[in-house]
Amino acid sequence: MALTQARTMPGVLELLPLDQIAFQRMLDTIRRNYERFGFVPVETPVIEYSSVLLTKTGGETERQVYFVESTGALGKHAESVPELALRFDLTVPLARYVAEHERELSFPFRRYQMQRVYRGERAQRGRFREFYQCDIDVIGKDALSIRYDAELPAVIYSVFRELAIGPFTIQLNNRRLLRGYFESLGIADGEQQMLVLREVDKLDKRGAEYVRETLTGDAFGLSAEVADRILAFVQVRSTSLADALAKLDALGAGPEALEQGRDELKEVLRLIHDFGVPETHFALNFSIARGLDYYTGTVYETTLNEHPQIGSVCSGGRYENLAGQYTKSHLPGVGISIGLTRLYWQLREAGLIGTARSTVDVLVTQMDATKLPAYLALAGELRAAGIATEVVLEEGKLGKQFKYADRAGIRFAVVVGDDELAKHVVTVKDLRRGDQFEVPRAELVKTLRVEIEQAAVMG
RNA sequence: GUGGGCGUAGCUCAGCUGGUAGAGUCCCGGAUUGUGAUUCCGGUUGUCGUGGGUUCGAAUCCCGCCGCCCACCCCA
């Protein structure tokens, strides 16, 4: 019989258990910090009505949406769009969720959501078709204080500090300020401002020359002088809080949007510091523009200082009205998202994270099949003490059992044979260090707890 | 959606100018019936992506198709 090739489609990430454990530890850390800051969990269905997801009718998003058809509906609408689709982010479902449950929710509504989303793009290195987003958003009713714009970086600081993947910088900008500045240069049209923003956003990736050429080219037709001023402007970065405030003040007077954006940014920067984020970990970056659709004010991007090639590991911003497509209520919000699948993948590629130790702490080996009741009793005792324990249930050579433990990433093996029974002791072997010792049977739990604790700290 | 590159063992690849398919690794067994990872010995692993063409003969040369990768677009 011809075998079917066992394979997954490109653009999905599937992990072996020890890697999955490492991934899950990251999810746990993010969740713990989100909850610590008072965000509440929400999950929404993977499948939504197409009509709900596609309200923005952004040509780009529509091209990336996976549609879903039930068997019965297959082929029934050759021309029209299928009724159902997979979500491509968590923000649009959030908008629908808030609009649908508006009267049952408390505002400001602070939710976190960590689920998979789907994008039908051509697979590429570090790009996924199925990936985790870990979002937090704060949604206000009618109005939402700018202070929440400063809270999110505080959460992100807390998350990334605990993830312990090296120094990082949360970079901030303000879309209103950018638009005000463009206006002062005579680029008043909203559409064109968007297009310029999109080019400017490429600065770090493609370089100043590339952006200058595009801006002065036929598509934009800007004068060399204006292009140069834009380039000089977007290269502004701050080195400290005082420096950031000084650079903002140095912008001087200008269109209303510019002054408003500047005031917002100043307040946000000051508050981030008050939230306890060290000024080494946040900075102004006038080239940050972000997603082109809904952001209106503050925008964020977080990068790892020692790995700039990884790019942004977390981004988000302020939006004026989240759910305008679904409700007449005015619901402004601010949100930020960690693309965990990509982050994990990049960190692994860069050698910054390895495999985790197993979730199994101890393997009770089977020295002698007739003593199985003793092994099961021993395992029960360990489990009651909160130690994750596996018992070998099949007969086999001890060497094979150790090999199994080693490959499975289980660090400690417990051996009980005639020698141990006679002496009322248990042999504990540390597979990682390669040594072993005997402990009195009665002290096993206490000893293993200490060993496991140490292993967790020392790695 | 647009442009470029590559398809040989589970994995990484060699095999180039045509002459019956190879290495490392992995896996399995043994050396070692109370000790893994290290060492030594032995063993398994292939429609050479696929269909056609040229040829006495094709993994190798030519064409179609499929798949994958990279870049653009866009984004986490």
- Nearest-nucleotide field for A117 (CA, C1'): B76
What is the model's pLDDT at position A12? 87
A169, β-bridge pairs: A303
- Nearest-nucleotide field for A60 (CA, C1'): B74
Distance (Å) from CA A6 to C1' B25?
Answer: 21
The greatest distance separating any two alpha carbons of chain A, rounded to the nearest whole angstrom, comes to: 91
Q: Which of A109, A107, A88 is nearest to A41 (CA)?
A: A109
- Nearest-nucleotide field for A421 (CA, C1'): B34
Distance (Å) from CA A175 to C1' B60?
Answer: 59
Question: What is the CA angle A380-A382-A386, rounded to 5?
Answer: 110
Specify the residue for token string 């997954």.
A8
What is the model's pLDDT at position A79? 61
Distance (Å) from CA A240 to C1' B76?
Answer: 28
Distance (Å) from CA A6 to C1' B19?
Answer: 36
* Cα(A307)–Cα(A353) distance, integer angstroms: 13
Q: Which of A309, A199, A287 is nearest to A237 (CA)?
A: A287
The one-letter amino acid code at A84 reads L
- Nearest-nucleotide field for A343 (CA, C1'): B76
Distance (Å) from CA A337 to C1' B25?
Answer: 40
- Nearest-nucleotide field for A10 (CA, C1'): B68
Distance (Å) from CA A124 to C1' B68?
Answer: 11
Distance (Å) from CA A235 to C1' B72?
Answer: 25
Q: Kindly give, in sequence order, each residue whose CB lies less than 8 Å from that of residue A380, ignoring residues fewer than 6 positions away.
A: none
Structure ipTM: 0.84
* Cα(A358)–Cα(A339) distance, integer angstroms: 25
CB atoms under 10 Å from CB of A263, counted, come to 15
Q: Measured between alpha carbons, how far apart are the two ends of chain A, in Å?
A: 47
Residue A253 backbone phi and psi in degrees, to 5: -75, 160
What is the model's pLDDT at position A98? 96
Residue A169 backbone phi and psi in degrees, to 5: -130, 130
Q: Kindly give, in sequence order, each residue whose CB lies less than 8 Å from that of residue A457, ignoring residues fewer than 6 positions away.
A: none
How is residue A450 written in tokens?
Answer: 């200490």
Distance (Å) from CA A2 to C1' B57?
Answer: 30
Q: Which of A318, A335, A398 is nearest to A136 (CA)?
A: A335
Q: Which of A260, A275, A256, A290 is nearest to A172 (CA)?
A: A290
* Cα(A127)–Cα(A59) distance, integer angstroms: 20
Q: Which of A340, A301, A335 is nearest to A135 (CA)?
A: A335
- Nearest-nucleotide field for A430 (CA, C1'): B36
Distance (Å) from CA A4 to C1' B55?
Answer: 35
- Nearest-nucleotide field for A420 (CA, C1'): B34
What is the model's pLDDT at position A215? 82
pLDDT tens, chain A, 459 aa long: 456 777 788 888 888 899 999 999 999 999 999 999 999 999 999 999 988 988 764 445 666 888 888 777 666 665 677 888 999 999 999 999 999 999 999 999 999 999 999 988 777 777 888 999 999 999 999 999 999 999 999 999 999 999 998 999 999 999 999 989 988 988 888 777 888 888 877 777 777 778 888 888 777 778 888 888 888 888 899 999 999 999 999 998 889 999 999 999 999 999 999 999 999 999 999 988 776 567 889 999 999 998 887 888 899 999 999 998 899 999 999 999 999 998 998 888 887 887 788 999 999 999 998 999 999 999 999 999 999 999 999 888 899 999 999 999 999 999 999 999 999 999 999 998 889 999 999 999 999 999 999 988 876
Sheet holding A333-339, edge to edge: A40-41, A109-118, A130-139, A333-339, A312-319, A295-304, A168-174, A282-284
Distance (Å) from CA A60 to C1' B73?
Answer: 9
What residue spans of A174-294 are helical by DSSP H? Answer: 175-184, 190-200, 203-206, 208-216, 224-234, 241-249, 256-274
Question: What is the CA angle A327-A333-A339, rounded to 5?
Answer: 110
CB A91 within 8 A of CB A55: no
- Nearest-nucleotide field for A431 (CA, C1'): B36
Distance (Å) from CA A344 to C1' B45?
Answer: 33
* Cα(A334)–Cα(A299) distance, integer angstroms: 9
Distance (Å) from CA A267 to C1' B12?
Answer: 55
Distance (Å) from CA A378 to C1' B32?
Answer: 29
What is the model's pLDDT at position A354? 78
CB A270 within 8 A of CB A276: no
- Nearest-nucleotide field for A119 (CA, C1'): B75
CB A382 within 8 A of CB A362: yes
Q: Kindly give, in sequence order, each residue whose CB lies less than 8 Å from that of residue A246, ignoring residues fewer than 6 positions away.
A: none
List of domains in chain A: 12-153+318-356 (3.30.930.10), 167-305 (3.30.930.10), 362-458 (3.40.50.800)
Which bases of chain B are contacted by protein, using any atom under 7 A from a CB?
1-2, 27, 29, 32-37, 47, 67-76
The sign one gets for the Cα dihedral A206, A211, A212, A217 is positive
Q: Which residue is nearest to nucleotide B32 (CA to C1')?
A: A399
- Nearest-nucleotide field for A426 (CA, C1'): B34
Q: Which residue is nearest to nucleotide B38 (CA to C1')?
A: A434
pTM, full prediction: 0.91
